[in-house]
Amino acid sequence: MADHQTTPVIQAKALMKTFGTTVALAGLDLTVGEGRILGLIGPNGAGKSTALNAILGLAPYEGELKVLGRDPWKERDLLMRDVCFIADVAVLPRWMKVSNAVDYVAGVHPRFDRAKAEAFLARTDIRASSKIGQLSKGMVAQLHLALVMAIDARLLVLDEPTLGLDLLYRKQFYDTLLNDYFDRSRTIIVTTHQVEEVQYILTDLVFLNRGQKVLDCSMEAFEGRFRELIVAPDQLAAARALGPIDERTGLGRSVLIFDGVGAEALAPYGEVRTPSIADLFVAVIGRNTAYAKSGANPGANRGAVA
């Protein structure tokens, strides 16, 4: 992603974090430019939350890390003027009224725009007099997002922000984020296990596994680099010869994923399409451990994963 910025919003070099004998981050390098929406994807225990905690100044670390030009561990108070964070919709106090939450944020954050928050809430079914504990999970997510969107922040960090919400509220959350908040100058990092729901909003993609980066590319590069082939049965052997990184079978059909093989080369062997992030994730991390660990591509001379 280094070609997308001149002054990175986040620059991490050889980032390390251990908990006793457990290595959470193993020399992570990460560059995120201004105006990007990065999906940080990985299995449980991959190091996603640890990386976010370091970025937010919530945990010490080894290595080099700058966020908006600041050391997040040493300059967290200043950094938080330009950073917003949503970890889970349940963090808002249940005893507090909606109006109290708006009053509180207006009182503690110098860049909070009360009118903007109230205008957003007016488009929902949330009443100012309601207690947060009386709201549905979806409404709490809307409230949380309204408070965040009314802050003039340069970086927004989302750690499983729609966890536990139904499909309608999840879609509303990301649509609102993209249409009412993101302005191509703000930067957003999102981690989620529901990767199929964020694919359309991302500009960049990073896969983490065991504290290491195993894939790092823009979505433009993703769409040009990876191909999924639904193979005609009589063409399977020929398609395999082109060096897929993964193969699976479903509904009696073989589906192969390729890295760096053009659509024109695959077309004679079946239907070609761009894989979903979820399918590529399974291919790189779930089904092909050796590929993910080594960064090697079984296809000839088509480059490393990371």
What does each C-alpha distance from 250 to 97, 244, 253, 266 come to in angstroms?
50, 17, 5, 19
Residue that wins the pLDDT comparison between 38 and 1:
38
Q: Is residue 306 part of a domain?
A: no
Query: Which of 148, 177, 210 delimits the end of a domain?
Result: 210
CA distance 82 to 119: 22
State the helix-helix crossing angle for 137-149 and 114-121, rounded to 10 degrees: 150
pLDDT exceeds cutoff 60 at 306: no
Q: Is residue 118 part of a domain?
A: yes
> Does residue 166 sit in the same domain as residue 144?
yes
**What angle (nearest 5°) sits at the alpha carbon of residue 144, between those of residues 80 and 24?**
55
Confidence band, pLDDT 50/70/90 cuts, at residue 6: low
> Does residue 63 sit in the same domain as residue 163?
yes
Q: Is residue 301 part of a domain?
A: no
Span 20-71, pLDDT tens digits: 888 899 999 999 999 999 999 999 889 999 999 999 999 999 999 999 999 9
> Does residue 139 sit in the same domain as residue 274?
no
Q: At 103, which CATH number?
A: 3.40.50.300
> Does residue 18 sit in the same domain as residue 105?
yes
What burial class does residue 29 get, using C-beta atoms within 10 Å of its C-beta: 0-12 exposed, 13-18 middle, 19+ buried? middle
> Does residue 41 sit in the same domain as residue 188?
yes
Query: Which of 175, 210, 245 delimits the end of a domain?
Result: 210
Of the ranges 86-95, 243-252, 296-305, which is most confident? 243-252
Total domains in the fold of the chain? 2
> Does residue 249 sit in the same domain as residue 177?
no
Q: What per-residue confidence (pLDDT) applies to 182?
A: 87
Q: Is residue 183 part of a domain?
A: yes
Q: Is residue 129 part of a domain?
A: yes
Q: Is residue 162 part of a domain?
A: yes
Q: In this structure, are residues 216 and 1 in contact, taking their beta carbons and an 8 Å threshold?
A: yes
Q: Is residue 305 part of a domain?
A: no
Q: In this structure, are residues 164 and 194 in contact, taking their beta carbons and an 8 Å threshold?
A: no
253 beta partners? 250
> Does residue 226 sit in the same domain as residue 286?
yes
State the helix-helix crossing angle for 167-176 and 137-149, rounded to 10 degrees: 10
Tell me which residue of 152, 146, 166, 33 sits closest to 86, measured CA to CA. 146
> Does residue 51 sit in the same domain as residue 120?
yes
Query: Which of 210, 239, 268 delimits the end of a domain?
Result: 210
Q: Is residue 206 part of a domain?
A: yes
> Does residue 187 sit in the same domain as residue 266?
no
Domain housing 103: 2-210
CA distance 209 to 216: 12
What amino acid is encoded at 58 in this protein?
A: L
Residue positions counted in the chain: 306
> Does residue 104 sit in the same domain as residue 245?
no
> Does residue 254 sit in the same domain as residue 157?
no
Span 105-151, pLDDT tens digits: 999 888 999 999 999 899 889 999 999 999 988 888 889 889 988 99
> Does residue 199 sit in the same domain as residue 247?
no
Share of the chain above pLDDT 90, in %: 60
DSSP-derived 3-state class of residue 219: helix
Q: In this structure, are residues 8 and 31 in contact, taking their beta carbons and an 8 Å threshold?
A: yes
DSSP conformation letters of 91-112 = GS-TTSBHHHHHHHHHHH-TTB
CA distance 44 to 37: 21
Give the H or E element holding residue 146. Answer: helix 137-149
**What angle (nearest 5°) sits at the alpha carbon of residue 197, between those of residues 232 and 269?**
10
β-sheet with 246-250: strand ranges across: 246-250, 253-259, 226-231, 270-273
Copy the structure tokens of residue 291. Answer: 């590929």
What is the chain's Cα-based Rg?
Answer: 21
Copy the structure tokens of residue 80. Answer: 């938080």
Contacts of 251 (CB under 8 A, 6+ apart): none
